[in-house]
Structure 1
């Protein structure tokens, strides 16, 4: 039964188990979000759901809470342990995230409800003991789950009660259509199903016909992005060279503070930007599809805990989608592009926490990609900002986004960023010097160096970190690559280059030379000779200045 619009339905009014309410209170959730308020009561009634809600609206908890509740209820009369629920997610990063969220919800009943993530890239035989224990909930990608079903490590024909497909609009577009159709043959005829999605695309309706039985469709009447008072969006029209100049000054003069994700459209630009920021001693870490999955997950986890402030993320899947089209069935994909498309997408679903700023260094090619990128900030009750740097070639995608995202009065929600380029002209020569050092050869060497380093860490240190989990925090991903020549003079900003408007707002921040250089010139006045210095030191020494007078 859906809640009325006047009264907000609280968690304790939904008939949930006390152990679930205790876990919810521990996570600090005071009131349910709109999707949770509408979906949870319907799911508890046993109805199939097709739910569309914007990014960051709490879709994971909307299906996880009734899922755990159903398992707790079933186990009161169950005679044996069995796999009762399957959560299907398109990527391994999202599987890890969903698994973590379910563990948090079952923290007060961890002995009663067991959850296993089988998406980890390991041998099927190595994961067989895990599935032999018959965890109540199994999380995995469609291809991984199908492999376990074919290997008979997992049986669902007689025990499955709930099937969840999260980020449903990505399942077909990531190439899982055949895997999913094969997987459905291993399921019983009757089960409850949830489809959760940020958009209701053709792929979602195709999944609806395959999986759901007389579902309730929840299409919440809310904008796909937070309100203007929670999310502020800006754009700056500039040349390609000015993008680097603007980004450097925004970060170095601390006009952008807090956790920041900088989006680019391909991997080369990802490393080019990282090397460019290294010239000015601005630490950042790269996040792209070339890195191992464990590394990508580790980067996101450490970013969420506050170890890094800046992530340069390549969102190349949105570009590939725009060029090739999503809904076409007959496509010839290379093996490399298939692997990237099926396993990766930074702007989709990954739970970056407490992100203050999104910077679109390369403007996304589609409206959908823009919404998902900007949706990484202003999640839940937090506020955030998004800044897009738009070159002349990117004016057409900007116009489409402005036309799509409009206020009630018809004006665009993306406002022009008031920034005087004349005030930062003094930084241009520094930006040019840094760009000269970031050559194609340097970018290629940086890519190879990063991949070698991360693969080495993944293979060599895996067993060590299993035994010493605390030392995992010491493995940083924002280390300097240094394949390009670094100009030491670019590290600090001279006082004379700081704009007048910012000198009062610096609040004691040092933009000039380091303190070590300032300490050198302590003595003021005319320069002393060597003999004068010696005489002054002797006068200050009581053993040398003492004079004995005869009585």
Structure 2
């Protein structure tokens, strides 16, 4: 791509005026690198295989050409209504985000272009009326789209003209390989295809051979993560597990971490353990994991983006690809039995926290556990420093995690514009006064407490489930037993841990931490309110300070009765 082409603005790309107006409303002043390269080629009808980092505008790179193609078809002549574009996504959360972005871009042409969401939290029967109206664009996961194709509620063989695979590197790793192959058999022979991904791996190359025809490869000359001027990356090597909890407690309770943050852990039990640990200190956080229903996960994301929660504890456990044939268990002669698939553990195969989801205004990402691969680290840290906003990433590592951290540092150091992870400067001796409080909180969060917390969450999901309402209406005894089951107390809360006394704040941090401790109430006319006056005004006088001793006078004898 020539330099002059990459410098073109949206107004010079031949886009419809209604799309340009929507772009202006969204505040997109100029196209990103991937948008500047992909949009002109997509408008020419070329197949594209594009790689760009998270938050670089890949949705706009395929969304604008897709909508422009539909508007051109509908504006040229009277055509029959049909599904002409299909967008495949690996997770329901990402699908809802794509639907929202496409509808924002089509805000001024909503009557001409209709977008259907197959990632909604409802069954196939509830989505059939929407598909019967033949929307112009359908967004869904491969499994959901294939289910509608097999049920004859959706037909693409004679109408599809544009196919988009977003986050293509995840579609196969999430176990959608067989679904995509079956889905491609029900598509027309000729259509335009766009593959967008944050990384290139063998899975993406396999999709390239299946879907694309003589594609143009686009790899903007940019690192996979923003530069050091936008994203600051730190690492702290901890000697023991307790040090991780101590550091996190100090960051949050002393106010050293400003803004909202994502806390990533490695496993689901640790997700709940960290959440319960924060609750001991009065820090509200929500857990996001693959075992929650899709509606609950969407509700958590909405609450976080609205600012109700400042912290999300998430696990990005990725599910292995399902084999085409389930291996059978062998005999005793040293053969290992086939491991059960992750789907049998109750996890949603269409779940992905760290990949592609647009968490809004994330100031920091804390890797409480070191990710297992460089790609996982990139996708975790890519949740912050988006859209030219600054961000911070902090990784905490134990001695057994040092090799994985070294691989991440080596990979980032080899990329242009990337700096190695800087050591996080914090004198641990200054926060030693908080260690005994952390130990009290950690002792309260036992394995049994974690187990009961998960059971409590399952119980709440059952009570709020829309699918079980009919069952509870027919079986009221089941609902009664569920409601009056023994209450679960996942951890004994200690109220004294919520308040942090001033004497526990390190002397070197009192100038920047806990600014509310330094505020003094002032009178309307100026001047500080005296302590005694403040207490008396609020009726909280100290009886030991206001007590006055007076000698008891001898009682006068009662007068004799007359």
TM-score, L = length of structure 1:
0.86
Which secondary structure does the structure 1 equivalent of 2:281 belong to? coil
Deviations 1:43-93 (A, max 9, x none): 001111000001111111100110000000011224211101000111111
Query: What displacement does 1:454 show?
Result: 3.3
Is residue 350 of structure 2 the alignment partner of residue 334 of structure 1? no
Query: What displacement does 1:326 show?
Result: 9.9
Are the aligned partners of 2:5 and 2:37 in contact in 1 as well (CA < 8 Å)?
A: no
Partner residue of 1:546?
none
Partner residue of 2:205?
205
Is residue 455 of structure 2 the alignment partner of residue 448 of structure 1? yes
Which secondary structure does the structure 2 equivalent of 1:342 belong to? coil
Partner residue of 2:223?
223
Partner residue of 1:137?
137
Partner residue of 1:432?
439
Which secondary structure does the structure 2 equivalent of 1:172 belong to? helix
Cα distance in structure 2, aligned partners of 1:517 and 1:388: 46
Question: Of the candidates 547, 550, 560, which is equivalent to residue 528 of structure 1?
Answer: 547
Cα distance in structure 2, aligned partners of 1:109 and 1:139: 18
Cα distance in structure 2, aligned partners of 1:208 and 1:21: 31
Cα distance in structure 2, aligned partners of 1:249 and 1:211: 51
Question: Of the candidates 345, 364, 369, which is equivalent to residue 371 of structure 2?
Answer: 364
Residue-pair matches, total: 508
**Structure 1 pair 517–113 and aligned structure 2 pair: CA distance change class (3 A):** farther
Cα distance in structure 1, aligned partners of 2:380 and 2:323: 21
Partner residue of 1:537?
none
How does 1:49-198 map onto structure 2 within 5 Å? Answer: 49-76=48-75, 77-198=77-198
**Structure 1 pair 123–411 and aligned structure 2 pair: CA distance change class (3 A):** closer
Question: Of the candidates 391, 401, 407, which is equivalent to residue 400 of structure 1?
Answer: 407
Are the aligned partners of 1:228 and 1:413 in contact in 2 as well (CA < 8 Å)?
A: no
Which secondary structure does the structure 1 equivalent of 2:394 belong to? strand
Which secondary structure does the structure 2 equivalent of 1:193 belong to? strand
**Structure 1 pair 348–152 and aligned structure 2 pair: CA distance change class (3 A):** same
Query: What displacement does 1:183 show?
Result: 0.8
**Structure 1 pair 524–137 and aligned structure 2 pair: CA distance change class (3 A):** same
Partner residue of 1:29?
28
Cα distance in structure 1, aligned partners of 2:23 and 2:100: 14
**Structure 1 pair 408–185 and aligned structure 2 pair: CA distance change class (3 A):** closer
Query: What displacement does 1:39 show?
Result: 0.3
Deviations 1:491-534 (A, max 9, x none): 1111111011121224741399xx999967546995434879xx
Cα distance in structure 1, aligned partners of 2:445 and 2:284: 16
Partner residue of 2:524?
none
Cα distance in structure 2, aligned partners of 1:365 and 1:336: 18
Are the aligned partners of 1:233 and 1:387 in contact in 2 as well (CA < 8 Å)?
A: yes
Cα distance in structure 2, aligned partners of 1:116 and 1:33: 27
TM-score, L = length of structure 2:
0.85
**Structure 1 pair 89–327 and aligned structure 2 pair: CA distance change class (3 A):** same
Are the aligned partners of 2:236 and 2:394 in contact in 1 as well (CA < 8 Å)?
A: yes
Cα distance in structure 1, aligned partners of 2:415 and 2:225: 14
Partner residue of 2:272?
271
Are the aligned partners of 1:3 and 1:9 in contact in 2 as well (CA < 8 Å)?
A: no
Deviations 1:70-121 (A, max 9, x none): 0000112242111010001111111111111111111111111000011335
Are the aligned partners of 2:359 and 2:383 in contact in 1 as well (CA < 8 Å)?
A: yes
Q: Aligned-residue CA RMSD in angstroms?
A: 2.8
Query: What displacement does 1:304 show?
Result: 1.5
Unmatched segments (≥5 aa) in structure 1? 464-480, 533-551
Which secondary structure does the structure 2 equivalent of 1:381 belong to? coil
Partner residue of 1:310?
311
Cα distance in structure 1, aligned partners of 2:325 and 2:71: 41
* Worse overlay, 280-289 or 296-305: 296-305
